[in-house]
Amino acid sequence: MKINFDFSSMKYKEIKEYILSIEDIENVFETGENGSILEKLLQDKRKTVQKLGIKMSKILESKEKEIQRVRKMYDFDRSFGDFRYVAGVDEVGRGPLAGPIVAAAVLFDSKIIEDKDLILRANDSKKLSIACRKELSIIIKERALAYTITAIDNKQIDEKGIAWCNNQVFLESWAGLTTKPDLVLSDGYKIKNYPGLNEFVIKGDTLSISIACASIIAKVYRDELMVEYHEKYPNYGFDRNVGYGTQEHVLAIKKDGITPIHRKSFLTKILE
């Protein structure tokens, strides 16, 4: 739409309400035809209106930087060769004293990614707020061509060891995908006994879009599971520490003993 009226005839409150009422405001401001909106704000004689223009300019600049950052993550996944179906695999919960280790696999069709499909804010799940992770988890599941979430419980961790379980949960995650990947990117570790093409990426959840998305949905799943365990075992703070060995958690173990979801092999020094 073309803006044909003059902001100078409007009060600041009216201008602000109008700007905030524009649907898809970022796209409206970014189009060349409507660039005059930002110009009108910045050239207005009133300081308050100019500040509104500066604020909108910074929002657009920040959005563009985020688009460029995330595009690099998609480009990274395409940099390994002419593969159409690329899946990323990542795990959460390798180090906690309680609960399962969880891995997710997320697969995208690398040939049909348009700007509108970019999953902005995707990053290492630990760098995101709880609310952001939950929101992104929904978006990822909607936009991924396929995804899986797999867990191995504390009993198998005690029996088989965490290294075996880490690899196994990677294997089970990619195997559950409804579309077979041409390439699997794994975070930190090469997947042993994987029958296809696999590349491991150090700090992959900050470099690869598919690994970052796997990191996010795996963490959301595991964190929500640990909140459920908190309802059953309220003395250990699982809703806050998600099973990790915080001071609160360790003191609770020494006071109240262990639960059925604790990893006994991780507690030898604590229980001495």
3-class secondary structure, 191: coil
Known binding residue 91? Answer is yes
Query: Which of 211, 203, 204 is closest to 107 using CA atoms?
Result: 211
- E strands along the chain, which residues? 85-92, 101-109, 146-152, 183-187, 198-201
All residues at 6 or more sequence positions from 3 whose CB lies less than 8 Å from its CB, including other chains: 34, 36, 37, 40
Angle, CA of 199, 205 and 209, to the nearest 5°:
80
Tokens encoding 258: 């262990």
CA distances from 49 to 13, 42, 55, 121, 132 (A): 9, 7, 10, 29, 31
Known binding residue 90? Answer is yes
Sign of CA dihedral 199, 200, 204, 210: positive
CA distance 191 to 89: 10
* Helices 12-21/47-78 angle, 10° precision: 20
CA distance 243 to 60: 40
Q: Which residues are annotated as a binding site for a divalent metal cation?
A: 90-91, 187
Enumerate the known binding-site residues: 90-91, 187
